[in-house]
Amino acid sequence: MSETSAVTFCATLIDEWVRLGMADAVVSPGSRSTPMALALVADGRLYVHMHHDERSAGYVALGIAMASRRPALVVTTSGTAAVELHPAVVEAHEAAIPMVICTADRPPELHGVGAPQTIDQQHLFGGSVRAFIDVGVPDSDRSETWRTIAFDAWVEATHKRPGPVHLNVAFREPLVGEAGALPQSMPHADETALSTVSSLRRQSHDVGIDRGLLDEVVAAITGRRGLIIAGGRVDDPSDVLSLAQAVGWPIVADPRSGCRTVNPYVIAHVDEILRVPEMATSLRPDIVIRFGSLPASKVLGQWLADIDAYQLGVDVDGLRFDPDHSLDRLIGAGPGAFCRALTARLGEVQHDIGRWVQNWTYADSVASAAIAEVVAAHGEPTEPGIAREVVAAMPDGATLVVSSSMPIRDVEWYSAPRSGIEVLANRGANGIDGVVSTAVGIALVADRRSTNAVNADSPVGTALLIGDVALLHDTNGLLGVVARMINLTIVVVDNDGGGIFSFLPQATAVDFGSFEQLYGTPHGVDIVALAAAHGIDSTIVDRQADVRLAVAESLTKGGTRLVLIRTDRQQNVAVHEEIHGAVITGFSRGRN
Task: Identify whether residues 43 and 93 lie together within a single domain.
Answer: yes
Task: Identify whether residues 279 and 145 lie together within a single domain.
Answer: no
Q: In CATH, what number is assigned to the domain containing residue 217?
A: 3.40.50.1220
Whether residue 206 is contained in a domain is answered as: no
Q: Provide the pLDDT for residue 195.
A: 43
Range of the domain at 81: 5-200
How many other β-carbons are positioned within 10 Å of the β-carbon of residue 238? 13
Domain count, the chain: 3
Whether residue 542 is contained in a domain is answered as: yes
Task: Identify whether residues 327 and 385 lie together within a single domain.
Answer: no
Query: CA 391, CA 394: separation in Å to the nearest integer?
Result: 6
Residues 6+ apart with CB under 8 A from 428: 90, 91, 92, 93, 94, 95, 96, 97
Q: Provide the pLDDT for residue 216.
A: 85
Domain boundary residue, one of 168, 200, 232: 200
Task: Identify whether residues 461 and 345 lie together within a single domain.
Answer: no
What does the DSSP 8-state code read for residue 174? P
Task: Identify whether residues 303 and 382 lie together within a single domain.
Answer: no
Task: Identify whether residues 58 and 190 lie together within a single domain.
Answer: yes
Task: Identify whether residues 28 and 124 lie together within a single domain.
Answer: yes
Task: Identify whether residues 473 and 529 lie together within a single domain.
Answer: yes
Domain boundary residue, one of 200, 227, 254: 200
Task: Identify whether residues 441 and 461 lie together within a single domain.
Answer: yes
Whether residue 108 is contained in a domain is answered as: yes
- Sheet containing 266-267: which strands, arranged edge to edge? 266-267, 251-253, 226-230, 287-291, 310-315, 329-332
Task: Identify whether residues 345 and 387 lie together within a single domain.
Answer: no
Task: Identify whether residues 146 and 171 lie together within a single domain.
Answer: yes
Tell me how far the alpha carbon of residue 466 is from its chain's centroid: 14
- Average pLDDT of adjacent 10-residue blocks, the chain of 592 residues: 79 97 97 96 96 98 97 97 98 97 96 94 97 95 93 94 97 90 73 42 51 84 92 94 94 97 96 97 96 95 96 93 94 93 76 81 97 96 97 97 96 96 96 97 92 62 97 97 97 91 81 84 94 98 97 97 96 95 92 64
Query: CA 112, CA 108: separation in Å to the nearest integer?
Result: 9
Whether residue 368 is contained in a domain is answered as: no
Whether residue 117 is contained in a domain is answered as: yes
Whether residue 219 is contained in a domain is answered as: yes
Whether residue 151 is contained in a domain is answered as: yes
Q: Output b/e per residue, 33-51; b: 16+ Cβ within 10 A.
A: bbbbbbbbeebeebebbeb
Task: Identify whether residues 252 and 104 lie together within a single domain.
Answer: no
> Taking the C-alpha atoms of 566, 571, 576 and 582 in order, what is their torsion angle to the nearest 10 degrees?
-120
Q: In CATH, what number is assigned to the domain containing residue 436?
A: 3.40.50.970
Q: Provide the pLDDT for residue 202.
A: 43
Domain boundary residue, one of 333, 363, 393: 363
Whether residue 234 is contained in a domain is answered as: yes
